[in-house]
DNA sequence: CTCCATATATTGGGTGCCCGATATATATTG
DNA sequence: CAATATATATCGGGCACCCAATATATGGAG
């Protein structure tokens, strides 16, 4: 059971398993500023408390690129990712859905 | 690919795949008021646009009960679920984690 | 009682997120 | 030119969410 953390006092939450939210978070982070992969990994680590493995992050970035939602710019050994117009539009719609699903969760 | 909706104009978002958020949402909904299973399903349908199947909902409720996070009260053919003190405490921690992960997402 | 609607419950299986390990490429340092 | 560090990339597999189909139980209408 992935949510073993549900029984552990030292785990912050039950939603430590946020499958399916990775792409959404990536799009959101890149909307703040373009970043390369390891920067994204670092930001995710700060927020989630766990650093995504390369096998998690890079396939996700590739899928988003293949879907036309973000574009790449190679600089040295790093690749800077940024949102395409489609990515921005998609993020907007995703946020709306997110708000509808989690209405009231953040209140009080 | 579950996220086929990423390519469809009529789908609200990329986060339609919210695996791992079901238990969190159930705890949140029950913190508002005790409900029985089908009420929960209806509320989830309103928020997510899709009604969870029985094979999704009831095992989730059972797992939360077995974890001591909610209790059941049978009334006729329906079972009213409500949070235990452990469930309330767990939801509080889950919310904190949720807020940390999604800081800034709902802004502007 | 019989029929039907509603609620709960179980089973089997698909899907794809995500991880760990490993590989490749580029930069930097000495 | 090695040697090391960093970034990207791939591969195989586990696992848990989630669904569709089906089963059981309770209650109400006639």
pLDDT, one tens digit per residue, over A79-99 is 999 999 999 998 888 888 888
Q: What percent of chain B has pLDDT over 90?
A: 45
Closest residue in A to B47 (Cα) is: A101
Note the pLDDT of residue B3.
Answer: 39
Closest residue in B to A48 (Cα) is: B101
**What is d(CA B29, CA B24) in angstroms, rounded to the nearest whole number?**
9
Going A91 to A92 to A95 to A100, the CA torsion angle's sign is negative
Nucleotides of chain D touched by protein CB (<7 A): 5-12, 15-23, 25-28
**pLDDT 10s digits, B11-48:** 334 444 677 788 899 999 999 999 999 999 999 999 98
In this structure, are residues B23 and B63 in contact, taking their beta carbons and an 8 Å threshold? yes
Question: What are the residue boundaries of the structural domains of chain A, listed by start?
Answer: 19-100
**pLDDT 10s digits, A46-71:** 998 889 999 999 999 999 998 889 99
Q: Any chain B CB within 8 A of the CB of A50?
A: no
- Which of helix, strand or coil describes residue A36? strand
Average pLDDT, chain B: 82
Mean pLDDT in residue range B50-79: 90
Q: Any chain A CB within 8 A of the CB of B84?
A: no
Q: Any chain B CB within 8 A of the CB of A53?
A: no
Distance from CA of A13 to the nearest CA of B (A): 4
Note the pLDDT of residue B35.
Answer: 94
In this structure, are residues A74 and B14 in contact, taking their beta carbons and an 8 Å threshold? no
Residue B9 has pLDDT above 90, yes or no: no
**What is d(CA A83, CA A95) in angstroms, rounded to the nearest whole number?**
15
The CATH class that applies to domain A19-100 reads: mainly alpha
Q: Any chain B CB within 8 A of the CB of A98?
A: yes
Note the pLDDT of residue B4.
Answer: 38
Note the pLDDT of residue B90.
Answer: 87
- Tokens 């958020």 belong to residue: B21
Query: What is the CATH T-level fold of the domain B18-99, as seen in this structure?
Result: Arc Repressor Mutant, subunit A (1.10.10)
**What is d(CA A92, CA A39) in angstroms, rounded to the nearest whole number?**
22
**Nucleotide lying nearest to B72, CA to C1' measure:** C8
Strand D close to B60 by CB, under 7 A: yes
Residue A26 belongs to what H/E stretch?
Answer: helix A22-32
Note the pLDDT of residue A97.
Answer: 86
**pLDDT 10s digits, A12-52:** 344 446 777 888 999 999 999 999 999 999 999 999 888 99
Half-sphere exposure of B5 (CA within 13 A, CB side): 20
Closest residue in A to B2 (Cα) is: A20
């Amino acid at each position: 059971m992935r949510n073993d953390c549900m029984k552990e006092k030292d785990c912050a939450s039950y939603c430590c398993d946020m499958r399916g939210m990775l792409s959404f978070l990536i799009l959101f982070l890149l909307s703040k500023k373009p970043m390369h992969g390891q920067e994204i990994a670092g930001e995710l680590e700060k927020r989630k408390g766990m650093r995504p493995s390369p096998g998690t992050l890079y396939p996700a970035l590739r899928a988003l690129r293949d879907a036309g939602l973000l574009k790449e710019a190679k600089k040295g050994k790093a690749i800077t990712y940024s949102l395409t117009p489609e990515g921005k539009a998609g993020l907007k719609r995703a946020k709306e859905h997110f708000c509808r699903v989690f209405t009231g969760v953040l209140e009080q």
